[in-house]
Amino acid sequence: MATESGTTLAGGTVVHTGPAVDAAPRLRPVARAGTAGAVPQAHAVADASDRGARLVAVGIALAWHLAVSLPAVLAAGPGMAAPAVVAAGWLVTALVGVATGVRLLGGGLPPARRLAAVLLAVDAAVFAAAGERFLFTTANWVWGGLAWFFLLVLWQRPVRWLLALLAAHATIALVAVVLHGTTAPADLSRYAMYVYGTSTLPVAVFAGAAALTALARDRAGTAAATLAVAAEREAAERARSERQARLALVSGTAEEVLAALATGDADPADPAVRRRAVLAAARLRRLIAESDDVPDPLLHELRAAADLAERNGLPIELVAVGTPPELPVDVRRALADPLTAALAGARGAARLTVVAGPDEVVVSLVTPDHDGPDDPLPPTDGDGPVAYLHERDGEIRWTQTRWRQA
Amino acid sequence: MDADPLAAGVNAGQPVGVAIVDDHPVVIDGVRAWLSSEPRLRVLATGDDPDTVLRAAPGAEVVLLDLRLHGRMVLDKLAELSAAGRRVVVYSEHTDPQTMLAALDAGAVAFLAKHEGREHCVATVLAAASDRPYVPPALAGAMVGDARPDRPSLSDKEREALLLWFQSMSKASVARRMQISEHTVKQYVDRARIKYTRAGRPAATKAALLARAIEDGLVRPEEIGIYRSQASADRPTP
């Protein structure tokens, strides 16, 4: 602590009690860009994986329908109880399969309930129309082939929906078996085997696809988070290195002064030396006070102007109390511009203060009065929301702008 | 700068005993040097522990307390001393408004920013010794920017005086600007400070400040407690 008070100390001390805003506004966009790039990338990976699974499911269903069901129906032909109904069912199912496939491969989902109802209706009709002779043959194509279409229409729905649909399927089959009178123990065990055989594979594929999709999304999410963290760290490191570079610059200046004082090359009584010391100390304290960062544009502007004035050798104190509300650009300009203009003409030392509340912001610059020309005159519109005041009383020059919520 | 010598209406002849508590010897030496140039003050004891220092100088009328001792904010110790009636002037480099207001709430007689210099320091200690308020510019800034919902209600003139004092650090300039006397500027500022004795928990030091303010005619007894009504009655008391 210096024992010299009065103007030297008053000018040289830099207290900054309000939020500093230097690094944050510049760095936020970097972090945001990094994260924004990562998320779609990761989603693309997940989507590609899901698309592959859809393609496989559509392929299995249609291939089975064409290569297994169709030849069997054609071979059985007129021997069935109602071949026309069986054929119509096949056609309807083919249409459902194609429509669903188109929808799935386009990235959408089919209307599950309605299509499931259509498929169950086809199921019952074909079971009835195939007749007792063809009940356990491939010509009763719904038994083995329809489950694949269940898979398509229920894509990405909960697996219990598929289980329910398969249970309905098994019930229809059981009713058909009973109504056709094929209830010998051998028939019932065949029934059980059929149900088991036709259900397990679709369930496995369905659950597998769901698990794969979940896994891919998970991994994609992890990748996105990792990228975001990396981007944030990069931004923080950049801020830190920037601040360190400035600190190095400032401490260099301070060290020079201290070294000169220590070796006796500089005389503490010399006003020039004192001024150098004051400037170096002011810069150092400002930098130290910069640790907190709320990106307030008004404080940011004032801080930039203060930095500039300080670089030109003016010891400047910037004290901010409170956080300014969000202000329209013209109000902010009307608040800051007269001060930055006055700062350009300041001599000796300057005290810049901001007192901000939700409905009032007052910015003030006080500098020692001097004989130089008066500061540039402010905007003439006296009716704006920002009141301007400038006066000099021989002791100080006082510039103040004040915004009040209308 | 307007360190008001009038604030020092202390018991004539007998210098005020001061204890300094700080964990940096260089600061103690600096402050001691400041105070030693003032014949009305005498430093009785110094050290980095409040209890030890006060055992050495039980008669100290004012304690200058660094708010941060050995890396810890000692607001609790401040409250304890204030409750016991010790006049504590906090001086600290932690000049964020929250800290300053917290120190007032805890019962500090005054808050002095370490950079505020000799005149403010001497004036603050002298005022504190006679239970009178002294508001250095940094504290004025904290008070005028106080946005806490339970803040004391200040009159327009009191707020304006605080604001301009904070901005200019010159009571003469504030007086010219407000077209009132310097004495009246000080009254507005001090009255605002007295209203803060009602904030936070009660402390003996706050009661003493308030009692002295009534005695001095700075506030009227009937005004105490219903500060909201004062917006209309903010003319300076004679």
Q: Residue A128: which pLDDT band, with cuts at 50, 70 and 90? A: confident
**How wide is the angle at C-alpha B180 spanned by C-alphas B122 and B139, nearest 5°?**
40
When scoring B114, B115, B169, B182 by the number of chain A Cβ atoms within 10 A, the one with the most, hence best to mutate, is B115
Q: Compute CA distances A253 → A250, A262, A286, B102, B183, whole Å.
A: 5, 14, 14, 36, 43
How far off is chain B from A369, nearest CA to CA, in Å?
Answer: 12
pLDDT of B149 > 80? The answer is: yes
Task: Measure the CA–CA gap between B144 and B97, rounded to whole angstroms.
Answer: 10
- Residue A94 is predicted with a pLDDT of 93
In B1-153, where do the E strands start and end?
A: 16-21, 41-47, 62-66, 68-69, 72-73, 87-92, 110-113
Phi, psi (deg, nearest 5) at residue A259: -65, -45
Task: Measure the CA–CA gap between A132 and A82, rounded to whole angstroms.
Answer: 11
- Residue B185 is predicted with a pLDDT of 94
How far off is chain B from A269, nearest CA to CA, in Å?
Answer: 18
Query: Percent of chain A at pLDDT above 90?
Result: 14
DSSP-derived secondary structure letter, A137: S
CA-nearest residue to A292 within chain B is B96
Highest-confidence segment of A9-23, A215-229, A232-246, A281-295: A215-229
**Pick from B33, B115, B163: which is nearest to A15 by CB?**
B115
Size (chain B), residues: 238
Question: Are the C-beta atoms of residues A327 and A305 closer than 8 Å to each other?
Answer: no
Task: Specify the pairing of strand A316-321 against strand A386-392.
Answer: unpaired
Q: Compute CA distances B119 → A4, A30, B45, B104, B123, whole Å.
A: 11, 48, 21, 21, 6
CA-nearest residue to B3 within chain A is A6
> For residue A89, what are its two tokens?
């069912």
Interface A:B, Cβ pairs < 8 A: 84
- B117 contacts chain A (CB < 8 A): yes
pLDDT of A298 > 60? The answer is: yes
The closest alpha carbon to A34, from A224, A233, A222, A228, belongs to: A228
The closest alpha carbon to B216, from B122, B127, B151, belongs to: B127
- Residue A24 is predicted with a pLDDT of 37
Q: What is the mean pLDDT of residues B120-133?
A: 92
DSSP-derived secondary structure letter, A373: P
Task: Specify the pairing of strand A396-404 against strand A360-368.
Answer: antiparallel
Task: Measure the CA–CA gap between B177 and B175, rounded to whole angstroms.
Answer: 5
- A1 contacts chain B (CB < 8 A): yes
How far off is chain B from A342, nearest CA to CA, in Å?
Answer: 15
Mean pLDDT of chain A: 78
Q: Residue A41: which pLDDT band, with cuts at 50, 70 and 90? A: low
- A265 contacts chain B (CB < 8 A): no
pLDDT in tens, A57-108: 899 889 989 888 888 888 887 888 888 888 899 999 999 999 999 998 888 8
**Pick from B31, B97, B168: which is nearest to A321 by CB?**
B97
- A17 contacts chain B (CB < 8 A): yes
Task: Measure the CA–CA gap between A327 and A361, rounded to whole angstroms.
Answer: 10
Mean pLDDT of chain B: 85
DSSP-derived secondary structure letter, A383: T
Q: Answer whether A3 sits within 8 Å of B30, measured CB to CB.
A: yes
Domains and CATH numbers, chain B: 5-140 (3.40.50.2300), 147-231 (1.10.10)
pLDDT of B6 > 70? The answer is: no
- B35 contacts chain A (CB < 8 A): no
Q: What is the mean pLDDT of residues B22-45?
A: 91
How far off is chain B from A283, nearest CA to CA, in Å?
Answer: 15
Task: Measure the CA–CA gap between A37 and A48, rounded to whole angstroms.
Answer: 17
Q: Residue A5: which pLDDT band, with cuts at 50, 70 and 90? A: very low
- Residue B198 is predicted with a pLDDT of 79
Question: Are the C-beta atoms of residues B158 and B234 closer than 8 Å to each other?
Answer: yes
Query: Percent of chain A at pLDDT above 70?
Result: 81
How far off is chain A from B177, nearest CA to CA, in Å?
Answer: 9
Q: Answer whether A391 sits within 8 Å of B26, measured CB to CB.
A: no
pLDDT in tens, A266-278: 887 887 787 777 7
Helix (H) or strand (E) holding A113: helix A112-130
CA-nearest residue to B166 within chain A is A353
CA-nearest residue to B147 within chain A is A357
**How wide is the angle at C-alpha A386 spanned by C-alphas A382 and A389, nearest 5°?**
70
pLDDT of B170 > 60? The answer is: yes
How far off is chain A from B167, nearest CA to CA, in Å?
Answer: 6
Taking the CB of residue B72, how many other CB atoms lie within 10 A of it?
A: 11
Q: What is the mean pLDDT of residues B28-47?
A: 92
**Pick from A2, A9, A355: which is nearest to B145 by CB?**
A355
- Residue A109 is predicted with a pLDDT of 87
Per CB-CB distance under 8 Å, the chain A contacts of B165 are: none
pLDDT of B231 > 50? The answer is: no
> For residue A6, what are its two tokens?
């009065």
Q: Residue A376: which pLDDT band, with cuts at 50, 70 and 90? A: low
Q: Answer whether B117 sits within 8 Å of A10, measured CB to CB.
A: yes
Q: Residue A355: which pLDDT band, with cuts at 50, 70 and 90? A: very high
The lowest-confidence range among A88-92, A378-382, B6-10, B19-23 is: B6-10
Task: Measure the CA–CA gap between A212 and A224, rounded to whole angstroms.
Answer: 18
Q: Answer whether B163 sits within 8 Å of A10, measured CB to CB.
A: no
When scoring A5, A354, A390, A405 by the number of chain B Cβ atoms within 10 A, the one with the most, hence best to mutate, is A5
pLDDT of B183 > 70? The answer is: yes
Q: What is the mean pLDDT of residues A366-388?
A: 72
- A357 contacts chain B (CB < 8 A): yes
Q: Dihedral angle at the C-alpha atoms of B219, B224, B227, B233, nearest 10 degrees?
A: -40
- B26 contacts chain A (CB < 8 A): yes
SS3 A364: strand
Q: Is the ipTM of this complex over 0.85?
A: no
pLDDT of A243 > 50? The answer is: yes
- A5 contacts chain B (CB < 8 A): yes
- Residue A19 is predicted with a pLDDT of 39
- Residue B12 is predicted with a pLDDT of 55
Q: Residue B234: which pLDDT band, with cuts at 50, 70 and 90? A: very low
- Residue A284 is predicted with a pLDDT of 67
CA-nearest residue to A5 within chain B is B117
Q: State the pTM of this model.
A: 0.57
- A24 contacts chain B (CB < 8 A): no
**Bridge partners, residue A321, by sequence:** A355
- Residue B224 is predicted with a pLDDT of 63
pLDDT of A8 > 80? The answer is: no
Q: Answer whether B96 sits within 8 Å of A391, measured CB to CB.
A: no
Q: Answer whether A398 sits within 8 Å of B147, measured CB to CB.
A: no
Q: What is the mean pLDDT of residues A302-314?
A: 81
Question: Are the C-beta atoms of residues B63 and B81 closer than 8 Å to each other?
Answer: yes
The closest alpha carbon to A7, from A366, A365, A338, belongs to: A366
pLDDT of B79 > 70? The answer is: yes
Residue B149 CB-density burial (10 A; 0-12 exposed, 13-18 middle, 19+ buried): exposed
Domains and CATH numbers, chain A: 1-21+294-406 (3.30.565.10), 31-227 (no CATH)
Instruction: Match 């950049």 to its residue by tokens.
Output: A238
Q: Answer whether A391 sits within 8 Å of B114, measured CB to CB.
A: no
Phi, psi (deg, nearest 5) at residue B16: -80, 130
Q: Does A302 or B167 have the greater pLDDT score? A: B167
